[in-house]
A = this chain, B = another copy of it.
Amino acid sequence: MAYQKLTPRSENYSQWYNELVVKADLAEQSAVRGCMVIKPYGYAIWERIQQSLDSRFKEQGVQNAYFPLLIPKSFLSREAEHVEGFAKECAVVTHHRLMNDPNGKGVVVDPNARLEEELIIRPTSETIIWSTYKNWISSYRDLPILCNQWCNVMRWEMRTRLFLRTAEFLWQEGHTAHATQEEAEDYARKMLDVYADFAESVMAIPVLKGVKSPNERFAGALNTYCIEAMMQDGKALQAGTSHFLGQNFAKSFDVTFLNKENKQEYVWATSWGVSTRLMGALIMTHSDDNGLVLPPHLAPIQVAIVPIFKKADQLDAILEKINPIADQLKQLGIRVKIDTADNMTPGYKFAEYELRGVPVRLAIGARDLENGTIEIARRDTLTKETRAIDGIVEHIAELLEVIQNNIYQKALQFRLEHTRKCDSWEEFKEEIQKGGFLECHWDGTAETEERIKEETKATIRCIPLDAPEEEGKCIYSGKPSHRRVIFAMAY
């Protein structure tokens, strides 16, 4: 139970992250290669993310539904680009039965139970969903369809990291069907706004809204919108995407409708998703060398109260004082834990709550009782003060909002400080190694983008939606460019 310090970020950022995820009890590797176990504390954060997003989706008219886990292999081939993007590294179900091993112990695959057509565990569900929508849509009156599902998906990743890249992950995928191109494009943009607002106001993660370059588009999309966040090592992390799919999937699955002019037309589509990857973004945006720093809006425990006592009657006296405070906090909807465990020292508890990112910690002992005071510690600033117990409830309610805002501002400040313009190739090659976002002119070609990636590993994270028009020359080719795009190293 001895408290072990994390590797500092400055020493090894990647190791700091890996240790933090495990030590803060968020997730761990499972017995199945590349698949993680999300532990109760990590899952409690994910549940808050889900609830908050889900109610935002429902405000946009979205309804939840559920589509099959398994996709017939042939479905993946229907959309030409989609198959290139998703049909390669995936889990393939070939048989539907095991049998006792005739040569010994255990069970083996029954060779007689081979499926006629192999089934793929969904890497994403456009194909199965559009094969379903075909039966739901015949007239413009059936549109729009605005469905979402919360589910698990699999992509057979070779190099995995907890939350950031796992073979199985949890996500939501929205799939909408529209009567017009304009409505579909607007909807894809609207969901991007939902994601951005959620990331900033709930997760306290500042994000850039932008559009992907053709190279970085979702396989099968005409346009991919994204939100991009900057991690503390200066790398970019794509935190959510919203795709305008045009009529590609409608054509592949022959989904047409009778429009108002009484003509058959292919349906217009969007899809959009965020995943447990957001947990990785959350951790890497705010946390420090002492552990997790959670935004109050997502913290499973917002206030931890640690009574400092030696004997049971001391604890009783303290509880008499703090139980009413805890009750008042709970009535305000604040999530409180009073930690009365007698097998850990207060110091150990403090370190644990620090590690787990609890935003506010209260400590109260015999002297505080005499003085009518309480010690209050902020996780975000690591500061402590002793305050009068009178008025503590209102103070804490305000403080949680202050903390929520502070960690957002801190992350925003960090991003601003690590974002700069860059106008020459020599400078680019040097600057990109330092991390952060580089605002550069680019000639708009896939070739240039690929060469830059080959030479530096940097990619275009997005063309910001609010990028002003500005004439310039591509940092790589020198050809003319009309606005700057964001280059960075990325997760």
- Which residues of chain B have C-beta atoms less than 8 A from A366's C-beta? none
Q: Which of A29-52 contact B (CB under 8 A)?
A: 30-32, 35-40, 43-44, 46-47
Q: Give Cα A73–Cα B97 distance, bound, in whole angstroms.
A: 11
B97 lies within 8 A of A88 (CB): yes
Contact of A106 among B31, B69, B74, B121 (CB under 8 A): B74
Chain B neighbourhood of A44, CB < 8 A: 63-64
Whether A88 contacts B94 in the complex (CB less than 8 A), given A65-B39, A70-B32, comes out as no
Q: Is A131 an interface residue (CB 8 A)?
A: yes
Partner of A156, one of B66, B68, B97: B97
Please tell me which one of the listed residues B37, B93, B131 contacts residue A93 in the complex, with CB atoms under 8 A apart. Answer: B93
Please tell me if A327 contacts chain B, counting CB pairs below 8 Å: no
Which residues on the B side are within 8 Å of A315 (C-beta)? none
Take A99-B88, A156-B96 as given contacts and tell me if A119 and B32 are in contact as well, using a CB distance cutoff of 8 Å. yes
Number of interface residues of A (CB under 8 A): 64
Which of B35, B87, B132 sits near A98, CB closer than 8 Å? B87
**A76 at the binding interface (Cβ < 8 Å):** yes
- Give A46 Cβ to nearest chain B Cβ, in Å: 8
| A120 CB within 8 Å of chain B | yes
Query: Within 8 Å of chain B (Cβ to Cβ): is A335?
Result: no
- Tell me whether B31 and A128 are in contact (CB under 8 A): yes
Q: Which of B97, B98, B152 contacts A152 (CB 8 A)?
A: B152
Closest 5 CB pairs of A and B: A40-B63, A35-B68, A38-B66, A92-B95, A77-B106
A interface with B by C-beta (< 8 Å)? 28, 30-32, 35-40, 43-44, 46-47, 63-77, 83, 87-99, 105-107, 109, 118-121, 128, 131-132, 135, 141, 147, 151-152, 154, 156, 168, 170, 343
